[in-house]
Structure formats: structure tokens, C-alpha cells
Amino acid sequence: MQISQNLKLKQSQSLVMTPQLQQAIKLLQLNNVELCELVEKELEENPFLEKDNETDLIEQRNNEYTENVDEAFQNGESQYEDPSKGDYENRWDQDNNLSSKSNNFDTIDPGSIAEQTISEKVTLKSVLMEQANIAFKTSKEKIVSELLIDYIQPSGWLTTDLIELQNTIGCDEQTLNNVLFKMQNFEPTGVFARNLTECLRIQLKNKDLLTDGISLLIENFDLLAKGEIKNLCKICSMSENELTKSIKIIKTLNPKPGSLYSEDNDQIFHPDVIVTQKNNQWEVELNNGTLPKIIVNENYIKELEKLGGNDADKKFISESVNSAKWLMKAIEQRNLTTLKISSEIVEQQKLFFEKGVSYLKPMILKDVAKKIKMHESTVSRVTTGKLMLTPRGIFEMKHFFSATINGTIEGESHSAASVRETLKNLISNEPLHNPLSDELLVLKLQNEGINLARRTVAKYRELLNIPSSSERRKMMKIQSIHI
């Protein structure tokens, strides 16, 4: 075989994703908070980018102030403003101590101002620490109590094994138990319990309601959950009436006493899109409060151009300016695409916003993409991870897309979300002593015009965290003793 070199021309098509295109796709799938983080990073790296500090608003205020002053001079109102007749008590120049060193604003501690203006958040640990400082006198007990407070759960329970705590703290078992039992008398009642039974027992003891029968009852809660009332009455040596009274007492207790106090990790939602109704029309707008606002510093660019510089400097300036302008354009395009897709979702799901979840239409990505003439992947990226604030609450944008469930009438269809809502309503309205089985639910749904298989009903019921008919029958049996 002879080996030789040949030169050939070949024409082909291929999809090449430039770095800018990759970044544009990445911007589409970021929510407003993530977009702000990306912009903050770009602000650190690109010297020609800066935040828009609402200069237009400042100029507008200055113009309004100038216009007001001009009107005052034209009307002659300013001629009657006599400083000698002013309120001298509220005038800055009447404070004789302003020039003294004791009132120098540079000496004011900013932290002290913050402490005066921000109220301290009361938490479970802060309340327990105050009580521990009063209850314990020796340094050893104080150290042990502080470490126990660090290990307490938001519920108020102490779930860590005592042997592990003993090894961690480095104290003897007797000292640890003495401190723990003393702290179990702290407020709120029931804190530092190691399980539900101990938590309830502490609260009952505090109220002088702990009897042998109630003690046996809280130790056999599993029988109550199974609906074995007669067996429970036999174990506790109670009649059904006495059992009912005891359960009513237990229901007044708090199984999670620590939940009375707020936690520092409260979840805050930042919607990306806001939907409102004005004049019987649905309006969609972006949440400008969480959107980054950036501009290119043109003055800085002009100053650097005047200074000149070598080829490397000019190249850096050119690349940085182009990157800044492209980022601004990409963010603007991302916002327009998000707004366009959100508006189409609202347009197709008007009945949901007007009447509720039961009227959510079946809709897939293709339905929206076809209307706005975009690719399905673009719609998928925009709707992933973004939140929409509506008069009915905050929803993920993916919530409005649902699979199609065939109806009993030809050509009729329902969304999976609306079917689940209908199923939930049927179970909530079922007869008290006769829960509906999955087979009966299938027949009930068919009467509602929904054609669904039994296994699908079971699947949707599990998604809604609704137990089976046998479990619901046991729960109804418990309710029948008038708890």
C-alpha cells in the first residue's frame, strides 16, 4: 500500500458554542439572586463595570428642587422667609456644643448605633442561657450547662447520646445527670427531654397531672395510633370515658416546646416574577428589587483613552469594555425572555389565577414554546428554579406545567395537578366511618369526568401523603371516642 499526502476540500455543518453563547445560556437558568451573585463577581473583575446608583432618580429630585425654588422666587414666597422668626430650638446652628470634642461624630461607635436600632432576636438558646446563669453557681456546672444548650435541638429535645456528651464535655456521669435534670425544669416546660415520652411526662409532672394510668398511656402511643382502644384501656386500667379524658389532657401539651421561639434560619423567598390583577387584566412584571443594575463607566474609558498606553493595555481595555457591554446586553435579553415566557404562562393559565388549582390546565413546554416561537429547551431553562409571586401565593414556574389526564368525554383532558386536587377533596369529604377505597375513588373520579387507573390513584394519594383506606379507618376509630 502506497502512502501519500493529499489535499482535499470538505464542506460540513457543525454547532459550535462560543464562550459567550455558553454564558448566555447560563444566564437564562439563573434566578435573580444567583444573577446578582454572578454580577457581583463580574464587578470585582471588570473595572469598567459599576452599579447603577439610581443617578436618574437623584437628577430628577434635583430638577424638582430647582423648579420649586424657581417658582418660589417667581411667586415672591421666598421674600417672606425671615430666619429671625424660625424655630430656634430645632435649628442646627443653635447647639452650642456641636463644636466641642465630646460631640465629634467620628467618635461615635457605629456598633452602638446598630445595637440601639436593631432589637435582639429572642431565641430558645438565649432564653435557656439566661436561666442557666441564674440556676448554676459553680464554673463546672456553668460549662456543662452551656455545652448542653449548644446541643439542644430547635424542638427543645436533647437527642445526643449522654455517653457521647460525657466524653465530649469531659465530666463524670453524676455531674452531667444532675445538671441535665435541673435544666429539665427550665422554661418552656419540657425542654431537654430525650424523647416524646419524657417530654410529655415532664410537662404532666409540672402540672401535677402525672398519674400511673396516663404514664402507661404515653408509653403505649403506638397502640393508640393503631386504633386498638380496648387493648389500651386494658393496659392502662381505664374505662373508655377515662381514656378519652386522659387523651384530652395530653392534647393540651406541647410535644415540641422549643418551637415557641423563632430560629435564625427563617427561610425567605425572593420571587423572580410578580403577577398582579389590575382593571380585570393580569399584569406580569419582573421583580426589579432583586435584579442587578449595572452600567459601563464611559468617563473612565475616555480618561484611559487619553492616557494611551502600550498594546497590552489597549487589548485589556478593549476586551474588558466589550465584555461589560455584552454582559449588559445578555442580562437585558435574559430579562426579556423571562418576561415573555412568564406572560405566556399567565395567559394560558388564566383560569387558575381566577378560580384556583382545580382549574389548572394541562400544559407542557411545547405549548408555551410554540406560542412565543422559542425552543423548548429555552423555556425549560427559564422556568427551572424561578419563583412567581401571585395573588394565590408563591409558586415555582414549573408548577404550571402538568401532564395530561384523559377525561371520560372524548376530547376532554385534565391536568395532573387539578386531578390531585379533586382527589384530595373527595377524600376530605368522605363518610366519617366509611373511608373510600382506591377502587371507589376511581368510580368517584369517573363521575367527575376523570378517567384514572387504580394504581395511578394510589400513586397520587401517596404523593399527597394520604394513608390508605385501612389506615384512615383506624384514624376515624380514634376520632370516634370524641377526642
CATH number of the domain bearing residue 429: 1.10.10.60
Distant-in-sequence, close-in-space partners of 376: CB < 8 Å, separation ≥ 6: 365, 366, 369
Q: Which of 238, 260, 282 is the last residue of a domain?
A: 260
pLDDT at 363: 87
Rounded Cα distance between 178 and 172, Å, is: 10
| Residue 53: inside a domain | no
pLDDT at 338: 93
pLDDT per residue, tens digit, the chain (483 aa), is: 577 788 888 888 776 667 777 878 888 888 888 889 889 998 888 888 888 765 444 445 555 554 554 554 455 444 444 444 444 343 444 444 434 444 443 444 444 433 444 445 678 888 898 998 888 888 888 888 888 888 888 888 888 888 888 887 778 888 888 888 999 899 988 898 888 888 988 999 888 888 888 888 888 877 777 777 788 888 888 888 888 888 888 888 888 888 887 554 445 678 999 999 888 889 999 998 888 888 888 888 888 877 877 888 888 888 888 888 898 899 999 999 999 999 999 999 988 888 887 788 888 889 899 999 999 999 999 998 899 999 888 888 988 887 777 766 666 677 777 888 888 888 888 887 788 888 888 888 888 888 888 888 888 888 888 888 887 877 776 666 544
| Residue 356: inside a domain | no
Number of domains in the chain: 2
b/e for 331-366, b at 16 or more Cβ within 10 A? beebbebbebbbbbbbeebeebbeeebbbbbbbebe
pLDDT at 111: 42
pLDDT at 68: 53
Residue length, the chain? 483
The full DSSP string for 354-411 is: HH-GGGPPPB-HHHHHHHHT--HHHHHHHHTT-EEEETTEEEEGGGG-B-EEEBSSTT
**Which residue range is the domain that position 175 belongs to?**
124-260
| Residue 25: inside a domain | no
pLDDT at 345: 92
| Residue 60: inside a domain | no
| Residue 30: inside a domain | no
Q: Which of 225, 260, 295 is the last residue of a domain?
A: 260
Residue 244 · residue 482 · CB < 8 Å: yes
| Residue 361: inside a domain | no
pLDDT at 340: 94
| Residue 410: inside a domain | yes
Q: Which of 260, 292, 315 is the last residue of a domain?
A: 260
| Residue 99: inside a domain | no
